[in-house]
Amino acid sequence: MTQSDLLRLCATDAVPDDAPLKVELPGHAPFAVYHIEGNYYVTDDTCTHGAASLSEDGELNGFQIECTWHFGIFDVRTGEVVARPCTEPLKIWPVTVQDGAVYISLD
C-alpha cells in the first residue's frame, strides 16, 4: 500500500460521535464516515435500497445505521444488511487514521 492509494476524507475531529459525516469528493460517490467507540468506519453514503443519504436520513444506533426512508438497517463495520427491505450490502472502505485525518484505501 503506497501513500497514493490513500484518499483523505476529513479531519478526525470533524466526525461527530453520534451521527455520520457525509464527505463528497469529486469523482467518487459520497462517503459516510462514522466515529464509534473510538474507531472510525467508512461506508458508501447512499442506501442500497433507494437514493437516501445515510448521513442525512439515517439514524445511528451503536454500530447500526438505520435508513429512515424504509427502515432498512446496515452494520457499518461489515456493510451487512441487518434489516430489510435492504438486501444488498453497503460498501465499506478500509480506513487508515494518520496525522489527525481519516483516509480510505481505494480498490
Please say which residue, 35 or 49, places its beta carbon nearer to ligand FES: 49
Three-state secondary-structure class, residue 36 = strand
Compute the distance between CA of residue 42 and CA of residue 64 in angstroms, rounded to an integer: 13
Closest-approach residue to ligand FES (CB): 50
Does 69 help bind ligand FES (rule: CB under 6 A)? yes
* Span interacting with ligand FES, options 3-11, 30-38, 69-77, 88-96, rule CB under 6 A: 69-77
Does 86 help bind ligand FES (rule: CB under 6 A)? yes
Q: Own/partner pairs for 12-17, CB < 8 Å, 24+ apart?
A: 12/40, 12/97, 12/100, 12/101, 12/102, 13/100, 15/40, 15/102
Compute the distance between CA of residue 89 and CA of residue 81 in angstroms, rounded to an integer: 5
Contact map string, positions 38 to 67, toward ligand FES, x by CB under 6 A: ---------x-xx-x--------------x
Please say which residue, 14 or 79, places its beta carbon nearer to ligand FES: 79
List of residues contacting ligand FES (CB under 6 A): 47, 49-50, 52, 67, 69-70, 72, 85-86
